[in-house]
Chain A
């Protein structure tokens, strides 16, 4: 690991100021992606600015039509929460292993936008809103590509607001070594329609319109059993071919709907 200046931010404003002053600074939340990346020298930064002391960014609060989860809330806290939709708690409980869940955060996960990460499926599948120090971004506009999001340089995620679903379920086929999603599907019946979001299969989380309209007419695993996505453009690597992942999308979609009940 190349050396850097470690700085602890005392508030959101302080984090913004420290990041602005650094020549090539980065933010540190749970460190479960950043530290391994720095260790492997896949990245190097002049300054690492630790957000963990900013208490305002941590915690879960239920309000009106949904629940707001602070960016620094750890996966283990979401997994144990009775205030978040059960499918979201179950998703958080399936991330990595207990030690990763004791450190890793919601904000870090979606800022990183790993194509195989779990949270992006819930954020897009529930049509959540990502709140930053500057603005609110709809989930449909947030994930823009492989490790790419709509965040500008220096923009900090503060929380994510999830609307309450009528029904929701998540199913993933975990990579047996890492537990990241080979394919994960989040299916939700919202007040304003059905949403189906797929992670792990493509370079970036995406929705499947054909499954959404089928489920809107008939909320059952059978409704999606005959719908498959094209393998074109899906991920293909040593863990599985694009065709294999395309097949898994249908299987996981059926399981997600069944899990939702």
Chain B
């Protein structure tokens, strides 16, 4: 079996995978980083979103081998020294989650949005979360959370 190597949340990792192993399987099953979720098999729900070389991508729609040599950030990589990152904190403050299944993907997509657009208005936030489905919240508090985080993060 081929070996794949990449940097995940700042740490060099490698592991044996099948050619067909998806990035999300490598993260969850080899690395036991189970914060990244799988919510569909049609590439539509966004529960699996991680950052690959700084851009948000669906880790269910990418082979582990495609990420050879890449810098990957998952939801586990956001908090530091036990402190939630401002986006995570904003989801908590605004009740931006209920069951929490979609939340890792929502947070990773929102982090990419705020990095590229530090001061997004409501319409921009809604458009940019197009690839993330939530079955619980009705999105309203998610949008509020992203607005708060954008402010705290210096937008």
A positions within 8 Å CB-CB of B: 1-6, 8, 28, 31-32, 35-36, 38-40, 48, 50, 52, 76, 96-100, 102-103, 177-179
Contacts and interface: CB of A to CB of B under 8 A. Distances in A.
B131 A99 contact: yes
Contacts of A177: 44
Given A96-B131, A97-B131, A99-B109, A3 B20 contact: yes
B63 A99 contact: no
Contacts of B2: 6
Given A50-B66, A99-B46, A32 B61 contact: yes
Given A4-B19, A36-B42, A38-B20, A98 B112 contact: yes
Sort A-B residue pairs by CB-CB distance and give the 9 closest, nearest first: A97-B131, A97-B130, A6-B19, A102-B55, A99-B131, A36-B43, A35-B61, A1-B20, A3-B20
A52 B43 contact: no
A6 B61 contact: no
Given A99-B49, A99-B57, A178-B44, A6 B63 contact: yes
B153 interface: no
A99 B58 contact: yes
Contact of B57 (A6, A50, A103): A103
B109 A5 contact: no
Contacts of B132: 97
9 contacts: A6-B2, A6-B19, A6-B63, A8-B65, A50-B65, A52-B66, A99-B46, A102-B55, A179-B130
A36 B56 contact: no
A237 B57 CA distance: 30
B102 interface: no
B119 interface: no
Interface in B53-76: 55-58, 60-63, 65-66, 68
Interface range on chain B (Cβ under 8 Å from partner): 20 to 34
A133 to B, nearest CB: 22
Contacts of A50: 65-66
Interface of B: 2, 18-20, 22, 41-44, 46, 49, 55-58, 60-63, 65-66, 68, 109, 112-113, 128, 130-132
A28 B65 CA distance: 12
Find the residue from A98, A99, A177 having the highest chain B CB count within 10 A: A99
A76 B19 CA distance: 27
A188 B51 CA distance: 37
Given A3-B19, A6-B19, A99-B58, A31 B63 contact: yes
Contacts of B61: 31-32, 35-36, 103
Contact of A98 (B22, B56, B65): B56
Contacts of B62: 31, 35, 103
A35 B20 CA distance: 9
Find the residue from A38, A98, A102 having the highest chain B CB count within 10 A: A98
A5 B46 contact: no
Nearest to A177: B44
B48 to A, nearest CB: 9
A1 B65 CA distance: 15
B20 A102 contact: no
B12 to A, nearest CB: 20
A178 B58 CA distance: 15
A31 B43 CA distance: 11
A8 B69 CA distance: 13
B44 to A, nearest CB: 7
B42 to A, nearest CB: 6
A6 B66 CA distance: 9
